[in-house]
């Protein structure tokens, strides 16, 4: 099912707010994937960054919390 909005957007509409949360989650995931893969690739080419694994894990946990919030609000 594509993410789209038909009609005039109303920020107070719960369906619009749900769509906005899902789009923000998708952007968060895309930014995580792009930046994280770029950092790991740069680490392989240049010099090692010993805490990159912890950084990636912390960001992944933040992404999972974001996902849990979106799902929890969707089920409400």
Domain ranges of the chain: 15-75
Whether the model clears a pTM of 0.95, i.e. scores above it, the answer is: no
Residues 6+ apart with CB under 8 A from 49: 39, 43
Written in H, E and C, the secondary structure of 54-65 is HHHHHHHHHHHH
Do the beta carbons of residue 11 and residue 5 sit within 8 Å?
Answer: no
Helix (H, G, I), strand (E, B) or coil at 13: coil
**pLDDT, tens only, 18-64:** 989 999 999 999 999 999 999 999 999 988 889 999 999 999 999 99
CA distance 56 to 70: 21
């Amino acid at each position: 099912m594509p993410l789209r909005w038909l009609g005039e957007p109303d920020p107070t509409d719960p369906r619009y707010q749900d769509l906005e949360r899902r789009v923000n989650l998708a952007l968060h995931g895309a930014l995580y994937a792009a930046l994280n893969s770029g950092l790991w690739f740069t680490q392989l080419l240049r010099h090692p960054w010993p805490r990159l694994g912890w950084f990636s894990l912390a960001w992944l946990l933040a992404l999972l919390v974001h996902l849990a919030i979106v799902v929890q609000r969707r089920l409400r």
